[in-house]
Amino acid sequence: MTVFHVAITGSDLSDGSEAQPWRTINHAAQRATAGDTVLVHAGVYREWVKPLNSGLSDARRITYAAAEGEQVVVKGSEQITDWTREEGSVWRTSIPNAVFGDWNPYALELVGDWVVRPVAPAPRTHLGDVYLNGRSFYEVTDKAGLAAPERRDTIVDDRTGQIVAIEDPDATRYVWYAEVGEHETTIWANFHEADPTAELVEINVRRSVFYPTRNHVDYITVRGFELAHAATPWAPPTADQPGLIGPNWAKGWIIEGNHIHDAKCSAISLGKEATTGDNYFTHRLDKPGYQYQLEAVFTARQHGWAKERIGSHVVRNNVIHDCGQNGIVGHLGCVFSRIHDNEIYRVATKREFYGHEIGGIKLHAAIDVEIAHNHIHGCALGVWSDWQTQGTRITRNVFHDNSRDLYVEVSHGPYVVDHNVFGSKAAIETMSDGGAYVGNLVAGTLLLHPVMERPTPYHVPHSTEVAGYASIYGGDDRWIGNIFVGNGAGADTQDAYGDDAWATTLITYGTGVYDGHPASFEEYLDAVHAAMPGDVDIFFSLKNPVYLRDNVYLNGAQPYERESNALVDAASADLAITESDGAVTVTITLPDGFAEHRFPVVTTAALGRVRMVDADFENPDGSPLVLDVDLSGVERAGDSVAGPLFDLTSGTNTVTVWSGPEA
């Protein structure tokens, strides 16, 4: 096991020792083998690191780390100092196309399955960007837009993609425009009062910053870097999903303690690769993207998608921000992974483009994935768990100031959401079956929507092996010991999508969206027997059972009509979620009787099985689930109050719910 050194003062002709370090990280990445460590010393490195060799096991990794106490920055951008003033505050530079190689971000448009551009006529959106002292610019569609830049970002309904408002113009908006010729690329930019020849100006050049170019480069650790400025493409689940950093279809990566920002689309990718499909819907238009995504699941199985070869990554203690599409993305390749103790913010809020594959964390097929103790705020969508959310656990996270906090789409469970703070106006949206929601604070609306027209796969428990696929009937959910805070206006129920019995979407404060669902599995079976004879048509007309108890409803939040042991109080909860100096504090007033409203620890036995998958709620290793640790890490042995913290009590509570990572 060898420690190789890299330094700005080094040379790639050296031997990589501490006395004679190499100059580039990528040079080290071509030579390091299992058990080796590449130690990188202070400086700014402008390169794409492409690890060549794999580690052999968790104990024989290849580790890339910033030297202790040293600031190491790796960027996919290049600094540009050769600017010529064209007119007023607009400057121009020309870059030889050879600088970009085969990936010129100013020639490549942002395209792919499920991209939705929110402005008409649709602007050209390219993968390039310009940064002034770290500030990202906006692209305009022609040179005329440089002199009088108008804001192009809009307020969009994240559920439908429809424009609902356009923000007021900002006179200090920084913009760029580019033209690509045969031999060079010319970029114009409006720097306002800044002089680009005297300030730090950078442009996107490389697709990725730390990403192998081949599959199955396993057991890699990346630790302690600042990683920035990647011209990453749109990354839907039907395409190759390159990120600023990621394993590129491999096993056992650890990405920890990094500061990752300014990916054009996705920062960390745990996603799939191109052989299982690459934007076929966009390129062929011969069948729906849904069908290509379904095919990708089966193709992946044929290409070795299994626990032995793919997934089991750890993403922890990172700060991730200012990305156009996702902080963390991954279809198929994310399986069996753990994502914890990260702060993720300002994702998909720049609004240069919009699409239906966005989120602080956006995963498909999150089989046995744990998303734990993260702080996710100021994003277009916090966590979006889409397709095959099975064995997934979302626990002890803090969400606030997102357009939406949590969206679970077309999945059959079992999945668990426990001891989180959902502080945004749109808190939870479920277009799925088989969820268990335990001990959460839900300060916004709850949405429920069956999806019968898009049957999706489910799996043999704790495996990628496909067991079947089915439509989403909605329900089969458990809600135990949660606190719901309303808006003081009563039920506030909306029918958002239509009148069909199975297509109606309901939005409420509280669990009133489940009204009309059976309150037990026995009652559901009675309804099936009563509807006989028949087959598929019977189930289309029946609602799944739901299991609700011991929840607390405040300030107009409405309980499920047949819930047992609900505590309902119309008084205002005086809820406030504030952030200061990196800490998040919740203040809430709880009613008399709250401290006495208690319930036992929730376990596998208490949750039962989900109907469609015929599987239990349990840990990834198959052991019984015990939900006995709260948001602050406190463990309980006996009964507890509702909500994410075991020490909440009647009266006014002020509690710090996030002060940084635990480890």
289-345 pLDDT, tens digit each: 999 999 999 999 999 999 999 999 999 999 999 999 999 999 999 999 999 999 999
Beta bridge partners of 79: 202
DSSP string, 303-368: TT-STTTSB--EEES-EEEEESSEEEEEESTTTT-EEES-EEEEES-S-SSEESS-EEEEEES-TT
Whether residue 216 contacts residue 240, with contact meaning beta carbons closer than 8 Å, is answered with: no
Q: How many Å apart are CA 497 and CA 500, to the nearest integer?
A: 9
pLDDT at 118: 54
Check pLDDT > 60 for residue 383. yes
Check pLDDT > 60 for residue 159. no
The beta-carbon contacts of 618-627 under 8 Å, at least 24 apart in sequence, are 618/391, 618/414, 618/461, 620/336, 620/368, 620/370, 620/391, 620/462, 621/462, 622/461, 622/462, 625/416, 626/601, 626/602, 627/416, 627/418, 627/419, 627/438, 627/439, 627/601, 627/602, 627/603
Check pLDDT > 80 for residue 371. yes
Which position has the higher pLDDT, 153 or 257?
Answer: 257
Check pLDDT > 70 for residue 161. no
Which position has the higher pLDDT, 446 or 352?
Answer: 446
Split at pLDDT 50, 70, 90, the class of 172 is: low
Q: List, for residues 251-269, the tens digit of each pLDDT value.
A: 999 999 999 999 999 999 9
Token pair listed for 270: 């745990």
Amino acid at 522: E
Question: For the chain, how many residues are written?
Answer: 663
Tell me the average pLDDT across 20-24. 98
pLDDT at 170: 47
Q: List, for residues 419-446, the tens digit of each pLDDT value.
A: 999 999 999 999 999 999 999 999 999 9
Split at pLDDT 50, 70, 90, the class of 167 is: very low
pLDDT at 165: 41
pLDDT at 166: 41
Q: List, for residues 206-229, the tens digit of each pLDDT value.
A: 999 999 999 999 999 999 999 999
Closest by CA position to 267, among listed 392, 382, 399, 361: 361
Helix, strand, or coil (residue 531): helix
Q: List, for residues 449-487, the tens digit of each pLDDT value.
A: 999 999 999 999 999 999 999 999 999 999 999 999 998
Residue 328 has phi, psi (to 5 degrees) of: -135, 130
Check pLDDT > 90 for residue 18. yes
pLDDT at 626: 97
Q: Where in the chain is the domain with CATH 2.160.20.10?
A: 365-657
* Structure letter (DSSP) for residue 381: -
Token pair listed for 86: 């064209």
Q: List, for residues 603-655, the tens digit of each pLDDT value.
A: 999 999 999 999 999 999 999 999 999 999 999 988 999 999 999 999 999 99
Pseudo-torsion of CA 219, 225, 231, 234, nearest 10°?
A: 50
Q: Which helix (H) or strand (E) holds 370?
A: strand 370-372
pLDDT at 173: 82
Q: Where in the chain is the domain with CATH 2.60.40.1180?
A: 78-204
Burial class (CB in 10 A: 0-12, 13-18, 19+), 164: exposed
pLDDT at 506: 78
Split at pLDDT 50, 70, 90, the class of 150 is: low
Tell me the average pLDDT across 73-100. 97
Whether residue 509 contacts residue 491, with contact meaning beta carbons closer than 8 Å, is answered with: yes
Q: Which residues of 600-621 are buried (b: 16+ CB within 10 A; e: fewer)?
A: ebbebebbbbbbbbebbbbbbe
pLDDT at 491: 47
Assigned architecture for domain 365-657:
3 Solenoid (2.160)
Q: List, for residues 103-143, the tens digit of each pLDDT value.
A: 999 999 999 999 986 554 556 789 999 999 999 999 998 99
DSSP string, 564-603: BS-EEE-S----EEEEETTEEEEEEEE-TTTTT-EEPPEE
Check pLDDT > 80 for residue 663. no
Tell me the average pLDDT across 233-254. 98
pLDDT at 365: 98
Q: List, for residues 558-583, the tens digit of each pLDDT value.
A: 999 999 999 999 999 999 999 999 99
Whether residue 391 contacts residue 409, with contact meaning beta carbons closer than 8 Å, is answered with: no
pLDDT at 122: 54
pLDDT at 274: 95
Q: List, for residues 496-517, the tens digit of each pLDDT value.
A: 444 444 455 678 999 999 999 9
Check pLDDT > 70 for residue 271. yes
Average pLDDT of the residues of the chain: 93
Helix, strand, or coil (residue 283): helix
Assigned architecture for domain 78-204:
Sandwich (2.60)
